[in-house]
Structure 1
Amino acid sequence: MRKDLGVKPWLYPMPVLIVAAYDEAGVPNAMNAAWGGIYTDDMVAVCLSEEHKTTKNILAVKAFTVSMATRGLVAACDYVGMVSGNDVPDKVAKAGFSVRRSAFVNAPVIEELPMALECELLSYDAETCAMVGRIVNVSVDERVLGEDGRIDVDLLQPIVYDPCRRDYRAVGEKAGKAYGEGRRLMQD
């Protein structure tokens, strides 16, 4: 039997994204955002309300990065979501993050987070809080690359957000091969 729960912003898994941007003076800020993901082949979309310091920064400099939060950095990633850059201007440093400027866009790459989408701002809708960025580059720390040169999820150790219980969860074991498991159902 199913139970109706009404309208809830629950979709599993929700990525834990760390969105970072410089302000006009070059000071980095970052925030934790669970409402986002790939929009098209070369675009990412995130839901960011305009009162966030990070949103203000992105609108001013027209660039940002999106990194996957990782298992070993749960506290730092949670912290940048709990504290506002409007109140704590050095929250990136207080989280223990160090940054370098992207070679592709005017945005900070957080060195401790091994994967970053480096993006230029395409659009922002203040009514829906929908921000869309074009992915200009994906930078990755070589320590999370497998022998085939691609990102290995077991080495990356991304976390996801459980919005129902308000927990962070580690990504689990492989459950099957995409574009392969369903082949046995196609044989007739």
Structure 2
Amino acid sequence: MEISLSLSSGHKTVQNILKTQAFTVSIADEDHVVACDYVGVVSGHKEPNKLEKAGFTYTPSSKVHAPIINELPICLECRLKDYDLDTEIMKGEIVNVSVDERVLDETGRVDVSKVKPITFDPFNNQYVGLGKVVGRAFKDGLKLK
């Protein structure tokens, strides 16, 4: 599996990823909106301890040379595949997905209502909670066959 991100080359994060050839992507959740927004708006060049200042703790990944934020329930652990300086598109191979047990249901599957993921609404510059089921993947479309 692969993930693509658009990241400006001037960010300290990009410089670190290019050095380590690895990165993690944690899923922001409703319980940590302020902290997640903070680490997104504050530069690591100006605040080297921004994770700690946001109240986050971290554990080194056992799969890649990058941190896993303990407070966020899902983390993609990735090896850098490519970074294009012209487009500022970063591609990574997902080598592991860490999931905190607190967001699993009784069968061991991820329960999105426990994850409480958020997304960015660029039309209104706000974060929106996700979780309402609106259809069944790879099944509902079969009605049109």
Alignment TM-score, normalising by the size of structure 1: 0.75
State how 1:12-27 maps to structure 2 within 5 Å.
none
Measured after TM superposition, the shift of residue 179 of structure 1 is 2.2
- Which residue does 2:4 correspond to in 1? 45
RMSD over equivalenced CA pairs, Å: 1.0
Counterpart for residue 32 of structure 2: 73
Letter in 2 for 1:155: K
- Partners of 1:182 and 1:134 in 2: how far apart? 29
CA–CA separation in structure 1 for the residues paired with 2:134 and 2:95: 31
Q: 1:83 aligns with which of 30, 42, 46?
A: 42
Whole-angstrom CA distance in 1 between matches of 2:69 and 2:126: 23
| Bigger fraction of residues in helix | 2
Name 1:167's counterpart in structure 2.
126
AA aligned opposite 1:159: I
Count of matched residue pairs: 145
Q: Which residue type is aligned with residue 127 of structure 2?
A: Y
What is the CA distance between 1:149 and its match in structure 2?
A: 1.5
Shift of 1:175: 1.1
Q: Does 1:155 align with 2:114?
A: yes
SS of the residue 2:140 aligns to: coil
Q: Secondary structure at the match of 1:122?
A: strand
Counterpart position of 1:29: none
2:65 is paired with a residue whose SS is: coil
Q: Secondary structure at 1:104's aligned position in 2?
A: coil
Matched, 1:57 2:21: no
**Out of 89, 99, 115, which is 1:140 matched to?**
99
* Equivalent AA in structure 2 for residue 53 of structure 1: K
Q: Distance in 1 between matches of 2:86 and 2:60?
A: 30
Deviation per CA, 1:39-72: give whole Å up to 9, x if none: xxx1111110111010010001111100110011
Which stretches in structure 2 are left out of the alignment for 5+ residues?
none
What SS does the corresponding residue of 1:56 show, helix, strand or coil? helix
The residue number in structure 2 matching 1:28 is: none
CA distance in 1, matches of 2:119, 2:56: 20
Residues 49 and 89 (structure 1), Cα distance of their counterparts in 2 relative to 1, 3 Å cut: same
Task: In structure 1, give the amino acid aligned to 2:77.
Answer: E
Amino acid paired to 1:93: E
Alignment of 1:2-13 (within 5 A): none
TM-score relative to the length of structure 2: 0.96
Identity of aligned residues (%): 50
1:182 to partner: Cα distance? 2.7
